[in-house]
Structure 1
Amino acid sequence: MTEPESLRTAHTFELLPADLAGIRALMDTAFESGFTDEDWDHGLGGVHAFVRAPDGAFLAHGSVIQRRVLYEGRSYRVGYVESVAVRPDRHRQGLGGRVMAALERVIDGAYDLGALSASDAGERLYRARRWHQWQGTIEALTPDGVVRLPEEEGSAYLRSAAGRPLPGPSGALIFDWREGDVL
């Protein structure tokens, strides 16, 4: 009988260098080398959820980190989902859902709401898990002031954390600044 694939959660500081290297390799494979060093940095410093095969290979991963989002004069503590990927040969087997369920438990317990930026490939998973596409504008609080990011509009999804109300459904979400892609 084969050992089941294990799901684990851990904060970045709990992961060994070999774990981080394995997760980064999964990201590079899943995103066909389109995963940048800035993308990698964005997924660190929070809670990781991952599925490993019995041989230790990383099959799926996602992380949730804290960000601040302003909406109508209020600052929200947001659990922002990053670095979600499933090994290409394991797509559509429920691994992404297992990872997201673990991350959503973290969001429910620690944040005002969840947010993420969905790729075209990921939209189906997030919609099925009751994430809602943001219909308003996306902006960032940059070193030069608030800047609208029209190229990011349509990719942002929000999720209520533990039944709290979502902002909106329209207006501007103003995200904290970071290097690379803001969302």
Structure 2
Amino acid sequence: MTDHVTDALRTAHTYQLSESGLAGIRTMLHDAFGGDFGAEDWAHALGGVHAFVRDGRGVAAHGSVIMRRVLHAGRSYRVGYVEAVAVRADRRRQGLGGRVMQVLETVIDGAYDLGALSASDDGAELYRVRGWQLWRGRIEAMAPQGTVRLPEEEDSTWIRPAAGAPLPGTAAGPLVFDWRDGDVL
């Protein structure tokens, strides 16, 4: 039986985590995503603030928020992009994902214009109940060859305005994300 007394929620920037700490997070993510969490997914989760819960068996839950740029309606937004949110299989449906997201949302509110993430169908409910909104407009990315449309992301991209900020409107055009290797979103 897992010792839930050790369910302390911790935060740290990537540079503050040891190699063994990062390895423990990466192993949990690999397992939680059924082996479908590759090197590029891992790279996307680095360089920002990590929120994670450890229990007697290791990392039980994790999420990170990194900075990205998004163009919309002639403006460049500083976006807190949520990455690598997962809960170990034996700890799901115990509120750990919500605890991790609460910390990440606090970071978004304090440091960014808005939050964004790409959610699986299984994960979307967590974000919906927390007030995130499904983006109903076009999703694009700045690519080496120019701006490209990402229709496969148009039904899975969620946004959340930072505290007190207005939500960008879909009528004003697409969200155009910065380019990165691997899956853009």
**Per the shorter chain, which TM-score range?**
over 0.9
Q: Quick one: which of 23, 34, 37 aligns to 2:36?
A: 34
Match of 2:170 in 1: 169
Q: Quick one: which of 26, 51, 54 aligns to 1:52?
A: 54
Matched positions, count: 182
Match of 2:22 in 1: 20
Report the identity percentage: 65
Q: Aligned runs of 1:141-156 on 2, under 5 Å?
A: 141-156=142-157
- Cα distance in 1 between the residues matched to 2:164 and 2:101: 17
Match of 2:45 in 1: 43
Partner of 1:3, secondary structure, is: helix
| Structure-2-length-normalised TM-score | 0.96
Q: Aligned runs of 1:27-176 on 2, under 5 Å?
A: 27-53=29-55, 55=56, 57-170=58-171, 171-176=173-178
Q: Is the 8 A contact 2:108 2:162 kept in 1?
A: yes
Partner of 2:62, secondary structure, is: strand
Q: Is the 8 A contact 2:141 2:149 kept in 1?
A: yes
Q: What's the C-alpha RMSD, in Å, of the aligned pairs?
A: 1.2
The letter for the 1-side match of 2:29 is M
- Cα distance in 1 between the residues matched to 2:125 and 2:92: 12
- The 1:136–1:2 alpha-carbon spacing in structure 2 relative to 1, beyond 3 Å, is closer
Partner of 1:127, secondary structure, is: helix
Ranges in structure 1 where 5+ consecutive residues have no aligned partner: none
How far did residue 56 of structure 1 move?
5.9
Comparing 63-72 and 147-156, the one that deviates more = 147-156
- Cα distance in 2 between the residues matched to 1:169 and 1:132: 12
Partner of 1:154, secondary structure, is: coil
Ranges in structure 2 where 5+ consecutive residues have no aligned partner: none
- Cα distance in 2 between the residues matched to 1:159 and 1:56: 33
How far did residue 162 of structure 1 move?
1.0
How far did residue 68 of structure 1 move?
0.1
- Cα distance in 1 between the residues matched to 2:4 and 2:132: 34
How far did residue 2 of structure 1 move?
6.3
The letter for the 2-side match of 1:150 is P
Partner of 1:52, secondary structure, is: strand
Point out 4+ residue stretches in structure 1 off by more than 2 angstroms.
1-4
Q: Is the 8 A contact 2:80 2:114 kept in 1?
A: yes
How far did residue 163 of structure 1 move?
1.7
Match of 1:180 in 2: 182
